[in-house]
Amino acid sequence: DAGVIQSPRHEVTEMGQEVTLRCKPISGHNSLFWYRQTMMRGLELLIYFNNNVPIDDSGMPEDRFSAKMPNASFSTLKIQPSEPRDSAVYFCASTDREGYSNQPQHFGDGTRLSIL
Amino acid sequence: GESVGLHLPTLSVQEGDNSIINCAYSNSASDYFIWYKQESGKGPQFIIDIRSNMDKRQGQRVTVLLNKTVKHLSLQIAATQPGDSAVYFCAEAFSGGYNKLIFGAGTRLAVHP
């Protein structure tokens, strides 16, 4: 089975440019998460979707960040305009959540973003 | 091997020895705990999980122990191999929430031949 697929794997762009990160969750999973990982702050949850609906976006740093999930098999995280401090590894994870039962989240291999 | 602040602690072991990685969690209401392994350039990989109605769970070469009294979690790896070298993260969640995982800072495991 294919795992969570993220693209691109690496992105280098100049400050002020728009950046779009993409994620395809595991087929059949109904929950999707976007995380950011830095040395300083570790793994931080940015936003959580359940059944394609954003449930918790309290981790989104500021209005420059936005995320969408137009259907069950695709999500995007957009940064506009990008800044050097956005440089990090961005991960997408998915899980199949039933009611209040916790299940393991399965992560993609991330997008390493460098803003010059 | 507990994670403290921004510095990633390192546990160094000899190949073939057993490894124990420790984690202190913060929320006494947490009832789901999970360990991830992260290799360089890859995403966190699920190893094993445990719910609060258990105090021990075993997988293949791995055992997770949960002590709710002192809010402590540990991951034991038997017969550690070079392929086990990675950063290990514990995470906690509360089932009354939405499966939101709170991650620890991580512990680096270095396996020496």
To the nearest whole angstrom, how far is the Cα of B12 from the nearest Cα of chain A?
A: 21
Contact at 8 Å (CB) between B47 and B37?
Answer: yes
Inter-CA distances, A81 with A44, A64, B94, Å: 20, 6, 35
Contacts of A102 in chain B (CB under 8 A): 31-32, 49, 51, 93, 95, 99
The yes-or-no verdict on residue B110 having pLDDT over 80 is yes
DSSP B3-70: -BTTB--EEEEETTS-EEEEEE---TT--EEEEEEE-TTS--EEEEEEETT-SEEE-SSEEEEEETTT
pLDDT tier, A100 (very low <50, low <70, confident <90, very high otherwise)? low
The yes-or-no verdict on residue B5 having pLDDT over 60 is no
pLDDT tier, A1 (very low <50, low <70, confident <90, very high otherwise)? low
Mutate to test the interface with B, among A6, A102, A109 (most CBs of B within 10 A): A102
The pLDDT of residue A4: 97
Q: Rounded mean pLDDT of A65-84?
A: 97
* Predicted confidence (pLDDT) per residue in A7-63, tens digit: 999 999 999 999 999 999 999 999 999 999 998 889 999 999 999 999 999 999 889
Which residues on neighbouring strands pair with residue A94, listed in sequence order? A32, A106
Query: Which residue in the block uniquely carries the two structure tokens 């969750």?
Result: A25
Is A45 in CB contact (< 8 Å) with chain B?
Answer: yes
- Cα gap A93→A104, rounded to integer Å: 10
* Predicted confidence (pLDDT) per residue in B69-85, tens digit: 999 999 999 999 999 99
Contact B89 A43 (CB under 8 A): yes
Is A30 in CB contact (< 8 Å) with chain B?
Answer: no
Nearest CB to B98 within list A39, A48, A93: A48
Residue A75, SS3? strand
Is A93 in CB contact (< 8 Å) with chain B?
Answer: yes
The pLDDT of residue A96: 87
Average pLDDT, chain B: 90
The yes-or-no verdict on residue B41 having pLDDT over 70 is yes
The yes-or-no verdict on residue A116 having pLDDT over 80 is yes
Residue A83, SS3? coil
Contact B6 A39 (CB under 8 A): yes
Q: Rounded mean pLDDT of B57-73?
A: 96
Nearest CB to B34 within list A40, A50, A104: A104
The yes-or-no verdict on residue B108 having pLDDT over 60 is yes
The yes-or-no verdict on residue B99 having pLDDT over 90 is no
What are the backbone dihedrals phi and psi of residue B82, each rounded to the nearest 5 degrees, phi first?
A: -55, -35
The yes-or-no verdict on residue B7 having pLDDT over 70 is no
The pLDDT of residue B54: 96
Contact B34 A97 (CB under 8 A): no
Which structure tokens are listed for A31? 């929950």
Contact B99 A95 (CB under 8 A): yes
Is A104 in CB contact (< 8 Å) with chain B?
Answer: yes
